[in-house]
Amino acid sequence: MANPLVIALVVVFSFMESTVATTYNVRTMGAKTNGRTDSTKTFMAAWSGACGSSKPATIYVPNGRYLVGGLRFSGPCKNKAITIRIDGTLVAPSNYVAEYWLRFNVVEGVTILGGILDAQGAGLWACKASRRNCPSGATSLAIFNSKNVVVSGLSSLNSQMFHIVVNGCNNVKVVGVNVVAPWNSPNTDGIHVQLSTGVSILNSKISTGDDCVSIGPGTTNLWIENVACGPGHGISIGSLGKDLKEEGVQNVTVKRVTFKDTDNGLRIKAWARPSSGFVNGVLFQNAVMTNVENPIVIDQNYCPGSKNCPRQVSGVKISNVKYQDVHGTSATKVAVKFDCSKKNPCRGITIQDVNLSFKNQLPASAYCVNAAGRASGVVKPTSCL
């Protein structure tokens, strides 16, 4: 007769076997911590192991600096619980050329905890500043076509191009990240989201040379809360209307955000050309502006640098956008600007409890073209809706 104790132990051990994560420690697998020896192969070996494991798996990156080139974390994987715990810094080769540095594709249930990504973008920015023929640059961390991903406590330094991109994903949480690049570093958007649903960006600090967060076509159910932006170009929906056939942006919440010395605060931007794109259902709530060039702006004649502007009429339909409790200072006189499309005027714009002054004491002004909606509560500058 089988011993019940033995049966119980077998049950317990097989339970542990199936739930305890296998750990792949890149250091013990041979990665070097000197920041000079290329460890790309070891990181990829760790990923192969973790992704091929039928049990939950952890990749552990201990303290130290690891030089790595392109890391391709491709799925689908055999398990849906991979944790990448980074106590160290990943360093890109200073002359790295590719579209992406770290790229996840078709993964499910991946959690990235901690870590510093140092992309060493300065060389590429200098190249761009000198107008030589430069590569466009690599996004530091791209997450494509994936589901149930968490990025927590990560720092991204000096990306060549965008710091973090979420594209084609469902349920991605970016929390407690710190993005750092100089105010004049070109195209270093903090976090770019597009064609994705259920993304949240929480408790993060973004100082960079382009948009802190940019929200591209096909973004739905996006939640941004407790984010400090600056320097940078603000939190932007758009640019939209780049393509004739384009997916819309729907149900975006941006709350408890601060902007300091940024070019823009809460912005929606679209090119002046035909497009099927739209923006519907946005709540901007509890925002504090400090010396922001354009605190509240909808620009449907977007054309940075005024070069090769399409000079048509924006087809993007913008509706149901609410600004609630936004206060602070504008660095320019026009603190609120709604420059909407003649063909598709902005509809359902709501302003409630907005108090913006021009350089702390002078009254600011508001500017509206083709914009309709209503104002309530304290509204300074006086609404032009």
Ligand X SMILES: *[C@@H]1O[C@H](CO)[C@@H](O)[C@H](O)[C@H]1NC(C)=O
Q: Which residues bind ligand X (CB under 6 A)?
A: 221-223, 251, 253, 355, 357, 378, 380
CA distance 317 to 301: 13
Task: Look at residues 277, 276, 275, 268 and name the one whose alpha carbon lies nearest to residue 302.
Answer: 268
Is 178 or 253 the residue whose CB approaches ligand X more closely?
A: 253
Alpha-helical regions (H) of 134-175: none
State the minimum distance, in angstroms, from the CB of residue 85 to ligand X: 27
Question: In whole angstroms, how close is the CB of 378 to ligand X at the nearest point?
Answer: 4
Is the Cβ of residue 84 or residue 364 nearer to ligand X in the bound state?
Answer: 364
Residue 192: active-site member: no
Comparison of 161 and 335: residue with beta carbon closer to ligand X: 335
Instruction: List, edge to edge, every strand of the sheet that includes 264-270.
Output: 71-74, 100-105, 139-144, 164-167, 191-194, 213-215, 235-240, 264-270, 294-299, 334-339, 365-369
Contact 381, 363 (CB under 8 A): yes
In the complex with ligand X, the residue whose CB is nearer, 33 or 383, is 383
Per the structure block, which two tokens stand in for 56?
A: 């939950």
Nearby residues of 33 by Cβ (< 8 Å), 6 or more positions away: 27, 62, 63, 64, 65, 66, 88
Whole-number Å distance between alpha carbons of 337 and 369: 8
Minimal distance, residue 290 CB to ligand X, in Å: 11
Q: How far is the CB of 198 from ligand X (least distance, A)?
A: 6
Catalytic site positions: 233
